[in-house]
Each structure stands twice: as structure tokens, then as C-alpha cells.
Structure 1
Amino acid sequence: MSEAFRQLGMPTPGGIVCTADHASNHVPADIALGIPQHLLHEHIAVDIGTEAIAELLAQGHGIPAHIAAVSRLVCDLNREETAPGLVPEASDGHPIPGNVGADREGRLNRFHRPYHTALEQWLAAAEPALILSLHSFTPRLATSDAARPWQVGVLYNHDDRAARIAIPMLAAEGLKVGDNLPYSGRDLNYTMNRHAEAQGRAYLGIELRQDLVQTPHAHTRWAALLANIAQRVASALA
């Protein structure tokens, strides 16, 4: 057991796996962030819907999942070790006073490094054909007036092999698809940069709009759709 992550299912060589870096809003009892409790249920603390969808992918669709077990406000697992936002002192206009002067090295050793070491070993043991990187995004940032109309985004940095296949597939499902939107994988892509791009592994970076992933019915629908898309992408890449 680890404070930083949990794993569901057993990867198989040449299969598909899922990662969910921001799936949890858990804050350990010995860490005080100094924020109102309701913020732990908002996008600054957790990628809403991703935990349930990752669980369904593992339990119902044969896509094992490596799932974060700590809030991004404690330690953002999808950031470089040197990134200012690794232990955020503010997020979308909300101050996080408990993180001011926090022990970054302690958080790295306790959460970030165990998460990535385990993921590294998990992937090396199986060498999957495709990694499905699962995130979600708020329809609108509090610090911006701009709406985010996309229902799903496909993110990538340099390796867009899977993205180029998946984008038209998702569009064919009647979805409004963001191509490296609502933000670019060229800016924020640490986990996939490290474990996929640096290793030559194909990956599909998916962002789901959070108002569309808030109910069990929606979780079931998205899990089935993403499993189907991921399997078709993996076949096309083979």
C-alpha cells in the first residue's frame, strides 16, 4: 500500500493501461492546507470524475489503472520536481496558505517519487501498446471569463501518433473535440513526457469536461467510450 497511488488490475504485454494523476482529493491528516472544505470537491483539488472512470476501465474493460491517491493540492504528480506548482501556494485565485513554506522535498519523497517510481516499474514490466492518460477540466476558470466549449480534449507534446487517430474518432461520436485544448500538452505533460515520450511509448492524453462526468451514468458511458476508442487506437498503431 502507498499513500501516493493505488493500482487496479494487472497490465499485460502489448495491452492498454490507464493513468490518472489527479484522481484523488485526499489530504493526509497531518497536512493542513488551510482552505475551506468545499474547495476539496472542486477542480483545484481533484480532476472530477476521473477516479470513477479509471476504476470502471480497470474493473469492466480490462484496462488496468495507476491512480493517484492524494490531492494535487498536496503534491501535483503531473509536474516536474522543480515546478513552482508542484506544491501550489495558490490555485485558480484561491490561496493555499498551508503550502506556503511547505517542505517540498518531504512532499517529493512522500508522494511524487513513489508515484512515479511505481509507475515506471509497472510500465516496464508490461510494455503496453498504449497508455491512456486520463484528466478532466473545469468548464470555466474562476480567473477567466472564457468558456471552454470542448467536451473532450486530446493532449500531446511531440508524439501525436495516438492523438491524430483518436481526434477524428471522437469527433465521429458527435463530440466537440479540443486538439491540444483546453490547454496544450506542450506546456503541461510531465507524466507522459517522462513515462511515454521519453520511452517511445504511445499514449493518448484525454481531458473530459467536468460537467459531463458527474454522475454514475456518465462515468459508465465515458468508460465504455474511452475503452472502445483506446482499443481502436491501439489496433491502428500496431
Structure 2
Amino acid sequence: MRKLADKPFRLVSGLDGALVAGARVSVPLDGRWLVVRLPAPLRAQLAAQRRLWVLGRFVMLPGVVVPRRGAFRDTPVKGSVPFAAEAVSPGRMLAIQRRFLSAYYFFSVAMLLVMSAFGLWTAADYPRRDSVLVECAWFFGIGCGIGAIGLALAAVLLLRRLPEPTWTELAVVPGPASINLFGMVTVKGRTVLPDGREVTVQAGGSDPSLAANIAATGRLWVLGVPVAGKMAKAGVPGHAVFGPVKFGS
């Protein structure tokens, strides 16, 4: 990607002849096939918008600032079927995003259960019973088990069916943005709530695309009605962009 930094992205529209096999989308481009793996929310957005930006073998979707790395092949992925155009409502996009997060949560639950079992096994089978390792292993195993239960409940809640969401559009005066050690981007600013109160707002942290869209457009879309001093879910309608925002009191 660094070698292509001075080159422009190329917009590919229509996606005539595009194919899909599971999570891998094959796009005909310059006599070859650009194959890229996309998660379910991005596939839903691409099926609806039929547009993507290409730079070498890297792909970006409109509104999404994180590039996906693909590969050029002479043939599409085996077993591919036509990648049909399909409209996506805000409610369906939100449901797809929630299922995607739920799958990640369940994977994390499995990892925590393995770690919990290892900790408890170590505590029960370690030969030196007076060792501090035994006590630490008990706490580690129990802590991982409790974490697995909590994460499993969160994953199940994400699978609940929700009514069609309502969006509230807010104008934001963006302030400074910051990036932490993990690459998470946070942007701060000020906005006026529907009740007329002027408050601070902080967005991003989990999705850099959300912070980038706010900084670039000066607009913030919130699910439901925002309340001062509360957290809310925000995103970009029609795009696989979601993240938390915090309103000041």
C-alpha cells in the first residue's frame, strides 16, 4: 500500500459480471479477476451500491476508510455465482452488522472457555499446592468463565429482531481527532440536539470510518433520538459504518 500512496484510486461502478462465493467477491477488471474477501456488512453495501474504489489490489467501499486487500487471478473463485444487485434497508443493514458482531462475540466466548478450562485444570492439577500459581490460576479460570458468560449474553442479545430504525441527523462542528496506540480514531465536536441543547459529542473509537465521515461531512446520524449525557449508536445510512457516540450533559 505504501508504494501506491501517490497514485489515485479508481472508481469501478456497475460491477457487471461480478461473482461471489461465500465471503469472496470476484470482480472482472482489465482482463483479470480481482478477488477480495468482504464481511457480510460490506457485501450487503456492495450489492446495493455496486461501486467500489480500487488502488492496485486494494479495495475500498464508499464511506469506509479501511482498505481491504485483494488478489488478482486469472479465474474467479471456484463455485462462484452471479453477485446480484440487492437493495438494503437501514434495518437490514443494522441486522447484518449485529449478526456479524454476534459471531465475533461467540468466537471470543469459545476462546475464553478454553482459557478458563486451562486455568482451572492448572489450579487443580499443579503439584505444588502451596504455590501462588494455584491461587492465580483459580482466579484466572473463574474470571475467564464469568467473562465468557457475559459475552455470550451480549452475543444472544445482538441476535434479537429489532424494528426498522429511525435516524436523527445532526449537524456537527468537528473538533480535534486523536489516534490511540491501537489505531482507534476518536473525533470530538459540538452539536445541537433536537431539544435545542448545545452539547459536546465524541465519536469513533471502534470504527475509524465513523470518525472520518463526521470530520469530512460535518453530519452525524444517530439511531433513535439522542439524549444529553447518554451514549448512542451512530452510523451512515446505507453504509457498513457503525459506532458509539457520547453526548455531553
TM-score if structure 2 supplies the norm length?
A: 0.22
Of structures 1 and 2, the one scoring higher in RCO (CA 8 A, sep 6+) is 1
The structure with the larger Rg is 2
| TM-score, L = length of structure 1 | 0.22
* Greater share of residues in strand: 2
